[in-house]
Amino acid sequence: MTKLDEILADFEYIDDWEERYRYLIELGRSLEPLPAEAHNDVNKVRGCASQVWLETKPAIVGGQLVLTFTGDSDAHIVRGLVALVIAMFSGHTPEAIIATDPEATFDKLGLHEHLTPQRSNGVKSMILRIKADAQHALAASGG
């Protein structure tokens, strides 16, 4: 079971949105710490009301280019949303990242109905950034 599958299963089990918010906060706490030097302008995600940083690391795994993401935020719930987005995209090829439509996952989790418009825009900004990094990695690899 992938980390994303675990998150989806846990969300199904939790009915109350206050509990789901607490779960998102716990997800954020479980994020691998982002090194202090990675909290920089290059990694900063534009379009988020909270401070959000995403670091993209390309690697060759099994002969394929894959991207791994680490991230952080200065807001607890947003940090949980960063963890959710990382679970969705990290460890995949640029092609798979570009082809992934996160809307079905967000619908399944009920995020659209329970996030403020500001937070929803921030999540969109994170996804746009990840997809742009995937496009850049693909172009740099000659794909």
Catalytic residues: 48
6: Cα separation from own chain's centroid: 15
| Strand blocks (E) in 4-127 | 52-61, 64-73
Counting every residue, how long is the chain? 143
Q: With the C-alpha atoms ordered 75, 78, 83, 89, is the resulting torsion angle positive or negative?
A: negative
Cα(130)–Cα(72) distance, integer angstroms: 14
Are 31 and 82 a contacting pair, CB within 8 Å?
Answer: yes
CB-based burial of residue 98 (10 Å sphere; 0-12 exposed, 13-18 middle, 19+ buried)?
middle
Type of residue at 12: E
